[in-house]
Structure 1
Amino acid sequence: MKKTLLLFTAFLVSVFPVAAQDTDQIVDNIIKEATENSQLEKLGHQLLDVIGPRLVGTPEMKQAHNWAVNTYKSWGIEAENEQYGEWKGWQRGITHIDMIHPRVRSLSGMQLAWSPGTGKKPVEAEVVLLPEAKDSAAFAKLLPQVKGKLVMISMPQMTGRPDYNWEEFATEASFEKMKSERESQQEAWRSKMNNTGYNGRSLPEALEKAGAVGLITLNWSRGFGANKIFSASTKKIPTVDLSLEDYGMVYRLAESGNKPKLRIVAESKELGAVPTFNTIATIKGTEKPEEYIILSAHFDSWDGATGATDNGTGTLVMMEAMRILKKMYPNPKRTIIAGHWGSEEQGLNGSRAYVKDHPEVVENLQALFNQDNGTGRVVNLSGGGFLHAYDYLGRWMEAVPNEYKNEIEYNFPGTPAGGGSDYASFVAAGAPAFSLSSLSWSYWNYTWHTNLDTYDKIVFDDVRNNAILTAILAYKASEDPVKTSRERATLPKNPRTGEQMTWPEPRDATRRGGLD
Structure 2
Amino acid sequence: MNKFTSIACIAFLSMSLSLKAQQQSSQQLKPIIENFVQETEQRSQLEQLAHELLDQVGPRLVGSTGGQRSHDWAISTFQKWNIQARNEQFGTWRNWERGISHIDMISPWVKSLDATQLAWSPATKKPITAEVIAMPVFQSQAEFKAWLPKVKGKIVLMSQLQNYGRSDYQYKEFATEESYAKITEEKKQAADAWKKSLEFTGFNNNTLPLELEKNGASAVAISYWTGIMGANRIFGAKTKTIPMIDISNEDYGTLYRLAQAGKAPKLTIDVKSESKGTLPTYNTIAEIKGKTKPNEYIILSAHIDSWDGSTGACDNATGVITVMEAARMIQKYYPNNQRTILVCLWGSEEQGLNGSRAFVEDHPEIVKNTQAVFNFDSGTGRIVRINGGGFEKAYDFMGRWLYAAPNYITKHIETTYPGNPSSGGSDHASFLAHGVPAFMMGSHSWGYGGYTWHTNRDSYDKIVFDDIEYNTILAASLVYMADQEAELVNRDRRAMPLDKDGNTTTWPEPRKAERSDDYYFVK
TM over 0.5: yes
Give the CA deviation at 1:498.
3.4
Give the CA deviation at 1:229.
0.9
Q: Which moved more, 1:286-295 or 1:18-27?
A: 18-27
Matched to 1:500, the amino acid is T
Is residue 137 of structure 2 the alignment partner of residue 117 of structure 1? no
1:159 is matched with 164
The 5 A counterparts of 1:368-379 are 368-379=373-384
The 5 A counterparts of 1:449-468 are 449-468=454-473
Is residue 425 of structure 2 the alignment partner of residue 420 of structure 1? yes
1:211 is matched with 216
The 5 A counterparts of 1:307-456 are 307-456=312-461
Deviations 1:85-124 (A, max 9, x none): 01111111111110001111111010111111112x1111
8 Å contact kept, 2:339–2:483: yes
Give the CA deviation at 1:19.
9.0
Structure 2: gaps spanning 5 or more residues: 1-23
- Partner of 1:240, secondary structure, is strand
Q: Which of the numbers 240, 264, 268 marks the counterpart of 2:273?
A: 268
- Partner of 2:307, secondary structure, is coil
Q: Which of the numbers 45, 52, 62 marks the counterpart of 2:51?
A: 45
Quick one: distance in 2 between partners of 1:176 and 1:33?
52
Give the CA deviation at 1:171.
1.3
2:254 is matched with 249
- Percentage of matched positions with identical amino acids: 52
1:107 is matched with 113
Quick one: distance in 2 between partners of 1:317 and 1:348?
19
- Partner of 1:323, secondary structure, is helix
Deviations 1:435-482 (A, max 9, x none): 111011111111111111111110001000000000011011112112
Aligned length: 497
Quick one: distance in 2 between partners of 1:372 and 1:106?
35
Q: Which moved more, 1:366-375 or 1:21-30?
A: 21-30
Q: Output the TM-score relative to the length of structure 1.
A: 0.94
1:510 is matched with 514
Q: Which moved more, 1:137-146 or 1:409-418?
A: 137-146
2:97 is matched with 91
2:65 is matched with 59
Quick one: distance in 2 between partners of 1:420 and 1:164?
26
8 Å contact kept, 1:21–1:398: no
Matched to 2:246, the amino acid is D
Q: Which of the numbers 61, 65, 78 marks the counterpart of 1:72?
A: 78
Quick one: distance in 2 between partners of 1:105 and 1:54?
30
Q: Which of the numbers 27, 35, 42 marks the counterpart of 2:41?
A: 35
Matched to 1:317, the amino acid is T
Matched to 2:85, the amino acid is A
Q: Output the TM-score relative to the length of structure 2.
A: 0.93
Structure 1: gaps spanning 5 or more residues: 1-17
Quick one: distance in 1 between partners of 2:191 and 2:30?
58
Quick one: distance in 1 between partners of 2:123 and 2:182?
42
Q: Which moved more, 1:476-485 or 1:98-107?
A: 476-485
8 Å contact kept, 1:297–1:371: yes
Quick one: distance in 1 between partners of 2:142 and 2:185?
31
The two structures, once aligned, show a CA RMSD in angstroms of: 1.4
Change (3 A) 1:131 1:166: closer
Quick one: distance in 2 between partners of 1:79 and 1:422?
20
Matched to 2:502, the amino acid is G
Give the CA deviation at 1:52.
1.1
Give the CA deviation at 1:330.
2.3
Q: Which of the numbers 233, 238, 243 marks the counterpart of 1:233?
A: 238
8 Å contact kept, 1:135–1:197: no
Deviations 1:152-194 (A, max 9, x none): 0000101110111011111111111111222221222122211
2:494 is matched with 489
Quick one: distance in 1 between partners of 2:284 and 2:198?
42
